[in-house]
Amino acid sequence: MTDRREFLRHGSLAAAALWTGACASGAPATVPAPTRTPQPTRPTDVEVPTRELMMRALDAARDAGAGYADVRIGRYRNNFIVTREQQIINVVDTDSIGCGVRALVDGTWGFGATRTLTADAVAAAAREAVAIAKASRIARDRPVEMAPTEVHRNVTWKSSYEIDPWTVPIEQKVDLLLRANAEALKVPNVKYVFSVMYFVKEDRHFASTEGSLIDQTLIRSWVPMQITAVAPDFSDFQNRSSVVQPAGRGYEYVLAQDIVGNAPKWAEEAAAKLKAKPVEVGKYDLILHPSHLWLTIHESIGHPTELDRALGYEANYAGTSFLAPPEKMLGKLKYGPEFMNVQGDRSQPGACATIGYDDEGVKPEDFLIVKNGIFNDYQTTREQANWLKWWYDQQNVTPRSHGCSNGDSWASIQFQRMPNVSLLPGERDIGWEEIIADTDRGIAIVGDGSFSIDQQRYNAQFGGQVFHEIRGGKIVGMLKDVAYQMRTPDFWNAMDMIGGRRSYELGASFFDGKGQPPQINAVSHGCPPARFRQINVINTGRKA
């Protein structure tokens, strides 16, 4: 599931009042390169002897009885600038640093974490992890076994960004947002604009008792915007959001989105929705743009192919999966047409889940989740890879983690999280326009909207942002109150046309939620536009 409600809620006052605190949801233009300003160096950058502390934690875990332990020291930073219309609502910098230790004792996990980065404190966290593992031992009957991995000694990795957003002056960021807001507000009936710049920077350090020692840095950037048009008589209002996708890139990505140049178009779409025709209920051919289809992929392919879900480990929250049991599904289930190939990876430059090494020290590999339309593999960690030994034996492959372990902070227990899961483009060099031209009666949907799916990922309902009515291969007008309902295998088997490489784009979420305590995960999904035949469309308009 993905959850941006907390973040995008305008009255973030509500969230801020909670006990647990608020957590928080075009064509490139020529923009002058930003000037960089020197920043005060935070003392912790140089003062924390990360490696010594990690070794100390591992020693303490071993001394206390751990058979295996890993330690993560991480610094997690966020920078937000939040605006509405011509005002700044908030400028926020957050910075969290700490140490988490995971210990395996007699086949049972324990975890301890501390924000105090001293030798004594990290050793205490390690001993606590061991103590919790021992205390939890009474409630286990099958020991954890980890698949082997290569040891990576003294390796480093950095994500693909050109401009570190922390070096860009706040005035430049604010100026860009307020100019985009002003452009949107020039459009008749557009009354409100909410816009945000949201940056993430993570410095992650990892060490394990097996000898891996890894340092990584990554940056992610996003510009959430919501443009609201209000009818003059207050009888209706319409929003246009989901205009810029999150990305695993730096400030250069924000500039390339040209939010000032595109704001009028997005605002006109919000205003046009006030006059759009309510959709007639029925079956339509749907043409889904990558800015929309990524979320459908996320919910109906990304989540059901998580192995822990399929085997029941997430039953109490995220749910299980229709792709179970694995022995009845792998190599057998026809997910979609033969031209459907879905890849799991953590390697695409600019994608949100891309990383050099996962939170168990595994170097992730690219793998096919759906191969020529047939379900081929699940997402795994070291603990999980052995569960599919029978399947990998059939392929003559040694069981190995796909590198999907992730914890959302130093205080979180790492577990299986979604890599980038992408629908690979087709062989024909076609795109959005060609698919529309080939469609007689349908609806083309741009941008992600409302989304909901059941706990086994069968029955889903998706809205969108802009709904174009297609007749005779042409866009003839705009529709509103559109949502489609689907059953996952039927939906993907109804796909009959996809775009080629040039039409492939990445969509993403910063807030994929899973696990208890709930953790977030940033993940991208690449896809071309695609067409789905005869999908059930409902009208969601109701009057109070």
When asked if residue 398 is in the footprint of another protein (CB under 8 A), the reply is no
Which of the stretches 104-112, 331-339, 363-371, 419-427 binds another protein when contact is defined by CB under 8 A? 104-112
CA neighbor of 81 nearest in space, from 151, 157, 176, 4: 176
When asked if residue 516 is in the footprint of another protein (CB under 8 A), the reply is yes
When asked if residue 119 is in the footprint of another protein (CB under 8 A), the reply is no
Site for another protein in 192-211 (CB under 8 A): 192
Which is nearer to another protein, 22 or 368 (by Cβ)?
22
Site for another protein in 328-387 (CB under 8 A): none
- Between CA 307 and CA 401 the distance in angstroms is 11
213-225: b or e for each residue (b if 16 or more CB lie within 10 Å)?
bbbbbbbbbbbbb
Q: Which of 32, 38, 43, 472 binds another protein (CB under 8 A)?
A: 43
Which is nearer to another protein, 5 or 186 (by Cβ)?
5
When asked if residue 96 is in the footprint of another protein (CB under 8 A), the reply is yes
Q: Which of 52, 63, 95, 393 binds another protein (CB under 8 A)?
A: 95
Least distance (Å) between residue 230 CB and another protein: 4
450 CB-side CA count, 13 A: 10
Residue in this structure with the two tokens 């939906």, named with its chain if needed: 491
Site for another protein in 402-461 (CB under 8 A): 411-413, 415, 450-459, 461
Least distance (Å) between residue 93 CB and another protein: 5
Which is nearer to another protein, 76 or 432 (by Cβ)?
76
Which is nearer to another protein, 148 or 325 (by Cβ)?
325
248 CB-side CA count, 13 A: 26
Which of the stretches 93-101, 196-204, 360-368, 467-475 binds another protein when contact is defined by CB under 8 A? 93-101
Size of the site for another protein (CB under 8 A): 113
- Between CA 542 and CA 544 the distance in angstroms is 7
Least distance (Å) between residue 215 CB and another protein: 19
Which of the stretches 123-131, 254-262, 397-405, 419-427 binds another protein when contact is defined by CB under 8 A? 123-131
454 CB-side CA count, 13 A: 10
Complete DSSP assignment for 334-391:
B-S-TT--EEEES-STT-TT--SS-TTS-----EEEEETTEE---B--HHHHGGGHHH
Q: Which of 50, 305, 320, 343 binds another protein (CB under 8 A)?
A: 320
- Between CA 76 and CA 7 the distance in angstroms is 18
Which is nearer to another protein, 1 or 267 (by Cβ)?
1
Per DSSP, the three-state class of 75 is: strand
- Between CA 203 and CA 403 the distance in angstroms is 18
When asked if residue 481 is in the footprint of another protein (CB under 8 A), the reply is yes
Least distance (Å) between residue 503 CB and another protein: 28
Q: Which residues lie closer than 8 Å to 97 by C-beta, 6 or more apart?
A: 44, 48, 73, 74, 75, 76, 115, 117, 410
Angle, helices 50-64/119-136, rounded to nearest 10 degrees: 30
CB atoms within 10 A of CB 513: 16
When asked if residue 541 is in the footprint of another protein (CB under 8 A), the reply is yes
**Helix boundaries (H) for 168-232:** 170-185
Outline where DSSP puts E strands in 413-529. 415-416, 420-423, 441-446, 451-453, 459-462, 466-471, 474-480, 482-487, 495-498, 505-514, 519-527
Least distance (Å) between residue 132 CB and another protein: 5
Site for another protein in 257-316 (CB under 8 A): 311-316
When asked if residue 164 is in the footprint of another protein (CB under 8 A), the reply is no
- Between CA 15 and CA 11 the distance in angstroms is 8
Which is nearer to another protein, 365 or 454 (by Cβ)?
454
Which is nearer to another protein, 114 or 406 (by Cβ)?
114
Least distance (Å) between residue 276 CB and another protein: 14
Which is nearer to another protein, 114 or 159 (by Cβ)?
114
